[in-house]
Amino acid sequence: MSRLSFARLARAITLLSFLIMMLLFAVEASVYRRVRWQAQRDEAQPAAAIVVFGAAEYNGTPSPVYQARLDHAFDLEEQGLAPLVITTGGSGGDPHFTEAGVGRDYLVQRGMAARKILTDPASETTYESVLAASRLLRQRHATTCIAVSDGFHLFRIKLMFRAQGITAYGSPAPASPIEADPVQRALHSIRETVSSTLWYAGYRS
């Protein structure tokens, strides 16, 4: 190959790489806007259950992030929007507690009837939590739920529920410490943008 031909090939590869990068940027920017748009919408309405997505717990006490989600679920149930609450989340390596169990105990301590709460104590990822919650809903011939989490999380959660034939109404925890911090909000939203893009590409987690 002549030096001129090699230079042309190099320029073509550079241009193609640039175009691919611009396309990827445009796709990610579009998904990011959807993530943030969903994060700011409260779609809470009557449904078969309220599904609370777990977050960290410390020796049986919900973290501030998890507590904000649980408090919001409690308020929604108090409004009579659903007859059941499903708490999700595994142990994350904790030998004594699971996120789902801690969530159930917290809601009972706040005054919710234990008979209204179902738990999924085995799931370690968002996808596993959606699968487990969907199974519990289908066992009750239900196809709707209110998904409670931090706002940045809800876009991907709704995609996952839709794939299971469940209509999820997103309801972000209004007291989320993450959403209240601009830096943390942006970082978590960017992470969710990447995770949502991977979901569209067929990666399940």
97 found inside a domain = yes
Residue-level pLDDT at 175: 94
Average the pLDDT over 23-33 and give the result: 75
d(CA 52, CA 72): 9
20 found inside a domain = no
Token readout for 35 is 């993530």
96 found inside a domain = yes
6 found inside a domain = no
Residue-level pLDDT at 15: 65
Confidence of residue 29 (pLDDT cuts 50, 70, 90): confident
User: How many domains does the chain contain in total?
Assistant: 1
At 4-20, the pLDDT tens digits run 566 666 676 676 665 66
pTM reported for the whole predicted model: 0.87
Average the pLDDT over 47-75 and give the result: 97
CATH number at residue 116: 3.40.50.620
Average the pLDDT over 146-164 and give the result: 97
- The domain of 177 spans 38-200
Token readout for 32 is 């990011």
At 79-136, the pLDDT tens digits run 999 999 999 999 988 889 999 999 999 999 999 999 999 999 999 999 999 999 999 9
Residue-level pLDDT at 18: 55
Instruction: Give me the percent of the chain exceeding a pLDDT of 90.
Output: 78
Residue-level pLDDT at 202: 82
